[in-house]
Amino acid sequence: MDPRLHDDCITLIRSPDLVLISNTPKGRGVFAARDIPGSTVLDVCPVLVLSAEENEDHIKKTSLYHYTYNWPLPVTDCNNRNTITIETRQAVIFGLGSLFNHSSRHQNVGWQRDLDQLLITYRTLRDIKAGEELCISYGDRLTFDDVGTASGDDDSSGASDRSADGNGLDNLARIQPDL
Ligand SMILES: C[S@@+](CC[C@H](N)C(=O)[O-])C[C@H]1O[C@@H](n2cnc3c(N)ncnc32)[C@H](O)[C@@H]1O
């Protein structure tokens, strides 16, 4: 039977035009091997949402701590079952989502959570030239020194890619501890 006929079938997409480069100033990074048009889906990544205990007792003590994303989880109040609150959990992202580096002003990739299907979709925010690094925003509270800032790449005189903000993508990456 064709698995695509299942109601709960999720189509996974990964752009073939990406390469992983080691030993950049940011560690490994994802780069464009060819020109890529704006709004191209680069990767659809399944996520694993962690319990608060798993995060506190285990993940925080490992290098995986630097790879997890905030994940808003709707939780039903056990006293009043009509009340749903949002808890911020941490999630492990399977796929390239864990390997995009951060840029404060020149992010060219946006991402969007699918809370129901436990997925994140990454898309280009503009046309990308071959050889460009593909970067997301991790938000304002970084746990490392931003080499873009140190090198002047991210100063405000540079051409900002923020024009793509407001395109409906959740472009505010929140990698812990930026809760
Ligand atoms: C989610 S990982 C990204 C992949 C990582 N570069 C690797 O080699 O596995 C996040 C880590 O990448 C590095 N990183 C990402 N963006 C950076 C930046 N703008 N400046 C310096 N380091 C960065 C930091 O070490 C950060 O903790």
What's the 3-state SS for the chain?
CCHHHCCCCCCCCECCCEEEEEEECCEEEEEECCCECCCCEEEEEEEEECCHHHHHHCHHHCHHHHCCEEEEEEEECCCCCCCEEEEEEEEEECCHHHCCEECCCCCCEEEEEECCCCEEEEEECCCECCCCECEECCCCCCCCCCHHHHHCCCCCCCCCCHHHCCCCCECCCCECCCC
**Nearest atom (ligand 1) to Cα of 103:** 19
Domain boundaries, the chain: 3-164
The pLDDT value recorded for residue 159 is 27
Q: Is 94 near ligand 1, meaning CB less than 6 Å away?
A: no
* Cβ(21) – ligand 1 distance below 6 Å: no
Rounded to the nearest whole angstrom, what is the distance from the C-alpha of residue 25 to the centroid of ligand 1?
9
Q: Which atom of ligand 1 is nearest to the CA of 135?
A: 16
Residue nearest to atom 14 of ligand 1 (CA): 26
Mean pLDDT of the chain: 84
Q: What is the pLDDT of residues 6-25, one digit of tens each?
A: 888 899 999 999 999 999 99
Percent of all residues in the chain with a pLDDT value above 90, rounded to a whole number: 65
- pLDDT tens for 70-113 read 999 988 888 877 778 899 999 999 999 999 999 999 999 999 99
Whether residue 66 has its Cβ less than 6 Å from ligand 1: yes
Q: Which of the listed residues 19, 23, 24, 26 should we mutate to test ligand 1's pocket, taking the one with most ligand atoms within 8 A of CB? A: 26
ipTM > 0.90? yes
Q: Under CATH, domain 3-164 is a member of which superfamily?
A: SET domain (2.170.270.10)
